[in-house]
Amino acid sequence: MNPQEYIYRQHKMSRLALSFGIASVIFNFMLMPYIAIPLGCFAILFAALSRGNSLSFSKEGWIALIAGLAGVIIACSMFVKVYTALTTNEQYRNDILKYAETLYGDQYEELYGESLSDIMERLFPERSN
């Protein structure tokens, strides 16, 4: 492979990483962390691959690396926040149930046979009050 082609491939990889990183951050703002995490991971991977044999990242590579890391960290922190709110805050669970009842027109207990509080106590007994 000639040097021109090698540099072109590195540049192409860094642009791809930058696209994934920006998409990861955008999906976080759209409250879709389940999509943002894989995109952020791909951004980090492609940013690392865009470095090639050199010891430093290009400007686009650094931005892609930072955007990918930010996307993954924000999405994981959203998951942790929702998990702790669901397992510790009963008012939060009740608000979600009221919203679901308004949206679907059926009560949770009618659909699933037991209340969400009973399910949460069964799944997470150490967290229940």
**Each residue's pLDDT tens digit, 51-87:** 877 777 888 889 999 999 999 999 999 999 988 888 8
Helix (H) / strand (E) containing 27: helix 3-29
Does residue 98 share a domain with residue 69? no
User: Comparing 79 with 100, which gets the higher pLDDT?
Assistant: 79
Based on the number of CB atoms within 10 Å of its own CB, is 125 exposed (0-12), middle (13-18) or buried (19 or more)? exposed
Per residue in 4-19, pLDDT (tens digit) is: 887 788 888 899 999 9
Does residue 58 share a domain with residue 18? yes
The pLDDT of residue 127 is 57
Does residue 70 share a domain with residue 94? no
Range of the domain at 96: 89-129
Does residue 66 share a domain with residue 12? yes
Give domain status of residue 44, yes or no: yes
Domain count, the chain: 2
Band of pLDDT at residue 38, cut at 50, 70 and 90: very high
Rounded Cα distance, 93 and 105, in Å: 17
Does residue 69 share a domain with residue 9? yes
Give domain status of residue 82, yes or no: no
* pTM of this structure: 0.74
